[in-house]
Amino acid sequence: MALYLYTNERKGQTIERIFPMTGRIPRKIKHRGSSFVRDIPAEHSGRKDTPGTYPFWSSAAGVAESQISETTAYLARKGISVDFNKDGDIQMRSRRHRCAVLKALELVDKNGGYSDP
């Protein structure tokens, strides 16, 4: 299995997808009603237009569109400022911010490093 990046230029959003290395890798995919095109330069350089790893949008820690305002208020009460896109993906601004968000939402990153939640 390999990681492939797809970008929607209009939204300015890049998403990751995993496909088997054997077989056909799609050039275009649909994600939540929007078209994304495979972004080979971003695959070779890390992330498109992003210095380092942060900020990034997390679908895994995101919520349903109907829960955005409730989750924003919940995290604000815990002293954590967050941004969601219209799909409910949450923006992780830094490692410290990500740790605080995941801890508040009682989520665990099984692929994280030693200092990750």
Please count the other Cβ atoms lying within 10 Å of the Cβ belonging to residue 39.
19
Angstrom distance (rounded) from CA 90 to CA 63:
8
- What is the residue type of 89? D
Instruction: Express each pLDDT in 38-96 by its tens digit.
Output: 988 877 775 555 455 778 888 889 999 999 999 999 999 999 999 999 889 999 988 88
pTM to 2 decimal places: 0.56
How far apart (Å, rounded) are the C-alpha atoms in residues 98 and 82?
10
pLDDT-derived band at 114 (thresholds 50, 70, 90) equals low
The full set of domain ranges for the chain reads 2-45, 56-104
